[in-house]
Structure formats: C-alpha cells, structure tokens
Structure 1
C-alpha cells in the first residue's frame, strides 16, 4: 500500500508533480518574469529601480499591476490573458497533484480513471502555461526572460514529464 507499491513511472510522476508545483508557485508569485537593466515585471507586480545621472543609487519601487496601470500601458487584454492562462495552469497542476496523491496513497483510487484524470490535468496545465508564456514573451520581446519565468518554465517541463510518465504507466 502507498508509495512503495506503486510503479517507478508513477513514483517519478509524483515527485515531478511535487517539484513542479513548488517551482511554478515560486515563479508565479515573484516579480522577475521579464526584466531589463532596471525594471522587472511579474504577473502581479512590477519593480522599477531608479538611476541618477552619475550612478545607480539603488532606489527601487514595487507596485501592483492594476487595471488602471494595464489600461494606461495599453496592455489590458493580452496581459490579463497571460494571467488567466497561468492561473488555469496552476489550477490544473494542483488538481493533477491532488489526484496523483490520492492515486498513490488510497488503494480504492488505484484504477484507470484517476490516472486518466492526472494525464488530462497535466497536459491541460502544460498547454495553458505554454500559451501564457508565449503571449507574454511575444508581446514583450524587447525584455529578457527573468528567473521567475524560468522557474515557471521548469515547473511546466516537470509537469510534462509527469504526464508522460503517467501515460507510460497507463500503457503497461
């Protein structure tokens, strides 16, 4: 019963989903999705650091991304779409992990249908996340990808690996 009796594929998928959730949540919540020399943009906040004429003085200001801010920047539609897709990805990832947890640790859940649900939610999460990454990356191609988005992408890759491992276990 439990983790010791599951297949290697499911163990790998479970661990990948755990790591994916941690990495994606950290990336999701932090500011550095897109960056430049003195500016960082996250899904929910921005950070601007000010320079004087002669040197960088290190003063930074963090502000929330509001509807008024988005409207002023002309980003209202596509940025909200990015936020929505990343939220959908997070929800799907959480659902995949929850069902996988039940599949691994509850004997009555060791059936085909919960594993199919895990696969559905894994690939749904990956699809939603990738669409969000693409929207943001294509609209802000003048900025660099920051470490926050890098963590979110790593979480997305681990979610994909978990989905593939689940498909392999389903086929055996």
Structure 2
C-alpha cells in the first residue's frame, strides 16, 4: 500500500516562497548574452543592456523587443492565407465554368455535364454538341447548386479583397481580417452545400447508369479545402 506524506507549510514559509516568486517574475535576469560592446539581460518584463557606450544601463519593456518577431511570424500566416485564398478563387472559377462535373457513356455518345453546359461528344458524324444544362435538368435543386456555387465564388473574392486590404492598406485594423475569415468560411460552406447536393442528386438520377465525377467537380472540392485552410490560418494570425 502506497503512503503519501502531506506537507504543511507555515504562513511564514508561504510568505517567503511568495516573495521569491514575485522577485523571480519581476527580475530581468531570465537570460543573459554578450553582444559587441554590451551585456544584455532579458526578463519577462524588462530588457536591459549594461555597459553600453558611456557606461550606462538602459532598460526597456521586453515586449518592444520581442513582438517584432511575433508580428513577422503572424504575417507569414496571413501571407499563406492569401495564397490559399487566391488558389481557392482560381479553383472555384475553373469548377464553375467547366462543363466537366460529371461524365458518363451513353449509347453512341460520351456525355459531360457541368453547371451551365451539357455536352455530348462523338455523336454520329464525330460532332460535339453542347446545350444549356437547364434544358436537361430543370429541377429546383440544380438551380440551388448553381446559386451556392456562385455565392461561394463571391465570398472567396470578398475574402481575397479583405485579405489584401489587411496586408497592404489597413495593416493596423483587425476588421478586414475578421471579415476575410468569415467570408472564407462562408465560401467553404456554400461550396460544400453545392457539391453535396449535386452528388446526392446525381446518385439518385444515375442509379442504373455508371458515371464518374470529372475534374471540375474535383476543383470545387479543392476550392473548399483551400478556403478552410485560408480561414484557419488567418484566424491563427488574428489570435496572435
């Protein structure tokens, strides 16, 4: 059977320990280093340079010396977030404009379906015929998929504009960054709804016909993932 020993400190010992802890927190001697012409001591609150030219001792707040590196690291998060947002816009544009969300082989033709165009390739005579998708798919759910995809692109463009404003114009203002975060996550939600509804409905429509999702559908998924990544990185940057 294990035995435990309970240590009881007197009020005097507690006061001594508390005083030592306070002295340790306040002391500017957590780290020391020698630089050319001066000896530097770093604490949690003070940064002191001793034996500077003239034999002086200069102390400043530690945050003045340390926050520069943190800001640089934070800017890296914001820069990567900007790159991901640009990629998300490009991916969503490709997915939105291309008639290659779905492909299937029908008797005598290969059919590709996008949000706006329905194309039949290798029809008799080797022709490719494209018509508006709405002439083939007239249900309300397809209009909703189109709308969600467009909203996703608009939200991504808004996130891109807000990120550029934050990085190059309104550097000290947090509002554009929080707007960029919100619009990036909103874009991801819009795109997720569009691809989820499209996939569910196509599985119902093509139950007896084999089909595969094409590259434009994959690009929309990549846009959603890039938007999530950008939003997360910009959120981490905002919290620093």
Range of TM-score over shorter length: 0.7 to 0.9
> TM-score, normalised to structure 1's length?
0.85
Instruction: Please state if 1:36 is matched with 2:36.
Output: no
Greater RCO, 1 or 2 (C-alpha within 8 Å, sep 6+) = 1
Indicate conservation of the 8 Å contact 1:104/1:110, yes or no: no
Deviation track 1:42-92 (CA, whole Å, cap 9, x = no partner) reads: 11111012456xxxx6322111234xx15xx4x420000000000110110
Q: CA deviation at 1:148?
A: 0.8
1:123-142 correspondence to structure 2 within 5 Å: 123-141=185-203, 142=206
Is 1:93–2:93 an aligned residue pair? Answer: no
* Structure 2 gap ranges (5+): 1-71
Tell me how far apart the structure 2 counterparts of residues 148 and 88 of structure 1 sit (CA, whole Å).
17
Q: Which residue of 2 aligns with 1:61?
A: 129
Q: Which has the larger radius of gyration?
A: 2
Cα distance in 2, alignment partners of residues 87 and 110 from structure 1: 31
User: CA-atom RMSD, angstroms?
Assistant: 1.8
Q: Which residue in 2 is equivalent to 1:82? A: 145
Q: Is 2:230 aligned against 1:162?
A: yes
Q: Which residue of 2 aligns with 1:26?
A: 94
Is contact 1:24-1:90 (8 Å) kept? yes
TM-score, structure 2 normalization: 0.62
Match of 1:122 in 2: 184
- Deviation string 1:102-138 (CA, Å, 9 cap, x unpaired) is 11111x3432211110111001000000000011110
Q: In structure 1, how many angstroms separate the alpha carbons of the residues matched to 2:75 and 2:98?
A: 35
1:151 equivalent in structure 2:
219
Partner of 1:103: 166
More helix by share: 1
1:100 is displaced (CA, Å) by 0.6
